[in-house]
Amino acid sequence: MASIRSRGKKLFVDFRYLGVRCRETTNLIDTPENRKKLQKIIERMEAEIVLGTFNYAQYFPKSDKASKMMALNDRKECINTSMPSFKQFAELWFSEKEIEWRDTYKRKIREIIDMYLLPEFQGRPIDTIKKTEVLAFRSALAKVTRGKVKKPLSAARINSIMVPLGMILKEASKRYKFENPYEDIKSLKEPRTSIQPFTLDEVWKFINWVREDYRNYYLVRFFTGMRTSEIDGLTWENVDFDRREIVINQALVKGKIVPPKTQESYRAIQMSPWVYDALKEQYKVSYKRSEYVFCSHTGEPLDYNNVNKRVWHPTLKALGLKKRNAYQTRHTAATLWLAAGESPEWIAYQMGHSTTKMLFNTYSRYVPNMTRQDGSAFEALVSRSQMAQASTDKETSK
């Protein structure tokens, strides 16, 4: 049974809902009159809980616990009903799957469900959703715009929204024995990732021009292929000067330290002499100030949006270099290593790729332009073989 208590002269309600103890503070001052008023509210709450019509968010709209309790209720109803609504099953599916995901991916899926899927399908019995409606929903996404310039959603973004929808419908169709409306729906074709690596001359031009306090930062980026989240989350404990290695076991995403992007992303990057010297210089600058190798003047990790706006893009503009995002430093490292003739397996490991397939699919088309080896190496090999054979034949004929 719910009880009324007082905290800081304000009344709060102590009750249990779905097996969870809940304490919710009200705006009512602790007076006899307000206690009577609150008691009537509690009696109505308890009646609705018994009838199964209690709406947590309606009673406590500002509560941090409201969304959690509403989700619990949806999952309970989903389990107890013969055919749940889309919202009920989506909440159940999310609660079962979230243990498998990183926090960043969990937030991404939660955002997609709340922002796109529930407004479209939430009250529908899940077995009544048809394939034509799924396709119509996808078409509607192509008309959604975002930002000040009203930019439409990209094919990649639309695909990322459709993936959890497909997973939810597939799982529901298996459990409740109905035809999966997502069957045979293919992903939209996405344009190839824009790869705009720097030439080696452009790399040195950038490093020699950029602000002195960011020179080490960009030198390390260009010659290690680290992702933005990896270098921004790099701490001194993961820099091994004795072994000349940078250990990647964490990343900085939206201000939080999280595990690396994939299992293969856990790796030890070898320091080239330039990277080693840059980190030694950086050690003098930031070691006593922060646990982060590259940090702000207050010791906090770098805000990549701020760095891009204040350093990266102004430097490109000042040098007359093509406008591109800072992730191109990673692409640059890969193409330079390939151009230098490094082992593809070694490069894939340095980049955090599971195989060399992605390496060749993404970067190999840039290597001929950098090495000027566009078939001439093979021609030279055959020519040398012909000359050697001719020489042998000539000696034999004597």
**What secondary structure, in 3-state letters, does 26-75 show?**
EEEECCHHHHHHHHHHHHHHHHHHHHCCCCHHHHCCCCCCHHHHHHHHHH
Task: Kindly indicate the confidence band of residue 181, based on its pLDDT and cuts at 50, 70 and 90.
Answer: very high
The closest alpha carbon to 337, from 196, 200, 193, belongs to 200
Q: Is the model's pLDDT at 103 over the cut of 60?
A: yes
Q: Which CATH architecture has domain 108-191?
A: Orthogonal Bundle (1.10)
| 73-83 average pLDDT score | 69
| 135-159 average pLDDT score | 86
Predicted local confidence at residue 146, as pLDDT: 73
Beta-bridge partners for 85 = 125
The domain spans of the chain are 1-80, 108-191, 200-371
| 335-348 average pLDDT score | 88
- The string of pLDDT tens digits covering residues 271-319 is 999 999 999 999 999 999 999 999 998 999 999 999 999 999 999 999 9
Distances (CA, A) of 61 to 18, 70, 111: 18, 11, 19
| 325-347 average pLDDT score | 90
CA 3 – CA 28 distance, rounded (Å): 15
| 220-225 average pLDDT score | 95
Task: Kindly indicate the confidence band of residue 379, based on its pLDDT and cuts at 50, 70 and 90.
Answer: low
Beta-bridge partners for 10 = 7, 29
CA 71 – CA 65 distance, rounded (Å): 10
The closest alpha carbon to 78, from 178, 176, 174, 167, belongs to 176
Candidate ranges 10-14, 22-26, 314-318; pick with highest mean pLDDT? 314-318
CA 278 – CA 284 distance, rounded (Å): 10
Can you tell me whether residue 109 is helix, strand or coil? helix
Task: Kindly indicate the confidence band of residue 227, based on its pLDDT and cuts at 50, 70 and 90.
Answer: very high
- The string of pLDDT tens digits covering residues 137-146 is 999 998 887 7
Secondary structure letter of residue 199 according to DSSP: P
Distances (CA, A) of 266 to 249, 259, 294: 5, 9, 20
Among left, alpha and beta (phi > 0; psi -120 to 50; other), residue 24 is beta
- The residue ranking higher by pLDDT, 278 or 341, is 278
Estimate the share of the chain in helix, then strand, then coil, as percent rounded to the nearest 5. 60, 10, 30
Can you tell me whether residue 152 is helix, strand or coil? strand
Q: Is the model's pLDDT at 185 over the cut of 70?
A: yes
**What one-letter code names the amino acid at 316?**
L
* Phi–psi pair at 151, nearest 5 degrees: -75, 130
Task: Kindly indicate the confidence band of residue 51, based on its pLDDT and cuts at 50, 70 and 90.
Answer: confident
The structure tokens 């009696």 sit at 43
CATH code of the domain occupying 200-371: 1.10.443.10
Predicted local confidence at residue 78, as pLDDT: 66
DSSP 264-300: GG-EEEEPPHHHHHHHHHHHHHHTTT-SBSSB-TTSP
* Phi–psi pair at 381, nearest 5 degrees: -65, -45
Task: Kindly indicate the confidence band of residue 76, based on its pLDDT and cuts at 50, 70 and 90.
Answer: low
Element (H, E) at 10: strand 10-17
Distances (CA, A) of 260 to 114, 225, 229, 308: 26, 14, 8, 22
Q: How far is CA 361 from the centre of its chain?
A: 22
Q: How many residues does this entry show for the chain?
A: 398
What percentage of the chain has pLDDT greater than the value 70?
88
Task: Kindly indicate the confidence band of residue 386, based on its pLDDT and cuts at 50, 70 and 90.
Answer: low
The closest alpha carbon to 181, from 146, 136, 213, 139, belongs to 136
Predicted local confidence at residue 215, as pLDDT: 96
User: H helices of 81-154, where?
Assistant: 86-97, 103-112, 118-121, 131-141
| 103-122 average pLDDT score | 91
- pTM score > 0.85 for this model? no
